Amino acid sequence: MTKSYQPLQRLEIIYQGWGDHFPLGILAAGRDRGQWLFEYSAESIDRGIELSPLLHPPVSTTYADFERHQEGIPGFIADSLPDGWGRLLMDRLLRRNNIEPAALSVLDRLAMLGDNTMGALTYRPLLDMPEQQHQHIDDLIVLAEQIKIEVAGQDSEVLPELVRLGGSPHGARPKVLVEFDPVTGHIAAQAFAGSHPWLIKFPAAQEGVWVCALEEVYARLARQAGIDFPDSRWFDLGNGLSAFGVKRFDRHAGLRVPVLSMAGALQADFRLPCLDYSDILQATGMITRSMVEREIQARRMVFNVIMNNQDDHAKNFAFVLNQQEEWQVSPAYDLTLQMGPGGQHQTSVAGYGRDISRKALLKAAASADIADKTLQRIIEEVSDVAAMFVPTAQALGGAIPANVIQATADKINANIRALG
C-alpha cells in the first residue's frame, strides 16, 4: 500500500565551502502550486559570497520564477539534484518504502540528500527513509556486482547503501562516491588513513565492459594535451566487470569546494542542445573575469571536437570557487568518445554541430576575444596528442577491442581532417 506523504514546504540551505558553515538561505513554497521562492540569509548578504554570479547576487530580495527544467529552483541549487542513475536509485528506494516518487517535491529530494551532496551546499531538515540502515561495502568488486543487479532492473540487497554512495552525482552511468587509497587500492565509505575522495563509474546498461578503459585513455590524452584532469584509474575487476575512477575536485584536504555547473550558472537545460561554445566561452569570461580561464575553456572545446566527445552539454562544464572567492574553470570530467543526437555535438561551434571546421573554432574563440594565433596553437597541440590515441589505447593490454580502437581512431582522424 502506498503511504500518504506530506511534502516539505520550507528548506534551509547551508553553505559549507572551504570550512565555512553558515545558513545560505531558504527555499519555500509560493502561492501557486509548484512555485518556489528563494531568499538569502542576512549572513549570506553580509558575507557577499556569489554562488550564482550571473543571475542571483546575494542581496535582500525574494527570487522567484525559476526554470521548469531545473525543477523550479535556482540553478546553483539545482546542481545538487541527481539525475539519471542517482534519481533512479532514489525512486526505487522510495517505492520500496511504499512512497510514490511523484508525491515528493524538489525540496523533499534535497532533504533526502541532506549532507550527502557534492559541492558545498547541504540541506535541512534531513529526510530519512525508514530502510536506510546501511550495509557498508568496502570491496569494489562487490559494488560492481550489486550495481550490475540494479542496472538489470532487479532488487539489490544493498540499495540503501547504493543510494547513499551514488544518490547525488549527475549523469546516466552508475557511479558511487567513496574513499580510495590509490597506493593500496583499498576503498571504504568513510575516510581512513591515506584515503582521498574519489568518484567511481561503472558501465551502463548495453555498454561494453571496455567503456571504462576507454575513458581512462581519454583522461591520459587530456592531461597530455594540457587539460587539467584529476588523477584517474581504470579498474579491471574480472568476470566481465570494470570501473573508472577519478579523484574528486569538489573536496580538498577534507574541505568542501563550491562547484557551479554551466547549466546552473546560465539556467540552461542540459537535456537539450541549447548552447554554443561562444556562449560557453563568453560566460566563462563573465564568471571568471580571466582571459587565462577563457583559453582553458577553449582548449576543452578543441579537445571535445577532435576527440569526438559530443556529450558536451551544459552540465559537463563547471567552475570551482577558490579560497580567495574567485571562480575558476573546474578540472575536466566526463571526457570520452560519445555520439550526440544525430551525430552532432550537444554544444554547437559557431552554429555547427558536426563536420566542424577550423574556421568555426576560430569564430567561437574570437567571440570571447581569444586571439586566432592562440587557438591555432591549441588546435595543433591537441591534434598532436590525438595522434597518440591508438598506442595509448593499446597500452592497456587488450582492455579495449581492436575494432573499437580502430573505429574511434577513424572518428578522431576524420575530425582532424575536417579542420583542414
> The domain spanning residue 342 has which CATH number?
1.10.1070
Domain presence at residue 133: no
Q: Which of 251, 275, 306 is the last residue of a domain?
A: 251
* Chain segment 381-398, per-residue pLDDT in tens: 999 999 999 999 999 999
Q: Is the domain of 279 the same as that of 409?
A: yes
Mean of all residue pLDDT scores within the chain: 92
Q: Is the domain of 30 the same as that of 73?
A: yes
Q: Is the domain of 347 the same as that of 209?
A: no
Q: Is the domain of 85 the same as that of 102?
A: yes
- Cα distance between residue 258 and residue 123, in whole Å: 15
Question: Would the pLDDT of 355 be above 70?
Answer: yes
* Chain segment 210-231, per-residue pLDDT in tens: 999 999 999 999 999 999 999 9
> Using only C-alpha atoms, what is the Rg of the chain?
21
Question: Would the pLDDT of 367 be above 60?
Answer: yes
Give Cβ neighbours of residue 29 (< 8 Å, ≥ 6 apart).
9, 10, 35, 36, 37, 105, 107
- Phi then psi dihedrals of residue 74, to 5 deg: -60, 145
What confidence category does residue 1 fall into, taking pLDDT thresholds of 50, 70 and 90?
very low
Q: Is the domain of 105 the same as that of 151?
A: no
* Number of compact structural domains in the chain: 3
Domain presence at residue 57: yes
Question: Would the pLDDT of 133 be above 80?
Answer: no
Asked if the peptide bond before residue 401 counts as cis, ω within 30 degrees of 0, the response is: no
Maximum mean pLDDT: which of 54-63, 91-100, 127-136: 54-63
Q: Which residues pair with 29 in a beta bridge?
A: 36
**Is 82 in contact with 170 (CB distance < 8 Å)?**
yes
Q: Is the domain of 15 the same as that of 148?
A: no
Give Cβ neighbours of residue 231 (< 8 Å, ≥ 6 apart).
182, 246, 247
Between 33 and 195, residue with greater pLDDT: 195
Neighbouring C-beta atoms of residue 377, cutoff 10 Å? 13
Return the pLDDT at 282. 99
Between 41 and 97, residue with greater pLDDT: 41
Q: Is the domain of 245 the same as that of 277?
A: no
Question: Would the pLDDT of 179 be above 80?
Answer: yes
Q: Strand pairing of 232-238 and 121-124?
A: unpaired
Return the pLDDT at 142. 81
Q: In which domain, by residue range, is 203 found?
A: 140-251
pTM of this structure: 0.94
Amino acid symbol at 211: V
Q: Is the domain of 19 the same as that of 81?
A: yes
Return the pLDDT at 239. 87
Question: Would the pLDDT of 292 be above 90?
Answer: yes
Q: Which of 80, 97, 124 is the last residue of a domain?
A: 124
- Cα distance between residue 147 and residue 59, in whole Å: 44
- Nine-digit cell at 157? 540487497
Percent of the chain with pLDDT over 90: 76
Return the pLDDT at 213. 98
Percent of the chain with pLDDT over 70: 94
Give Cβ neighbours of residue 407 (< 8 Å, ≥ 6 apart).
none
Q: Mean pLDDT, to the nearest integer, of 28-32?
A: 91
For the chain, helix, strand, coil in percent to 5 are 35, 20, 45
Q: Is the domain of 339 the same as that of 371?
A: yes
**Alpha carbon of 152 to those of 34, 86, 98, 148, 180: distances in Å?**
33, 15, 21, 6, 26
Between 194 and 131, residue with greater pLDDT: 194
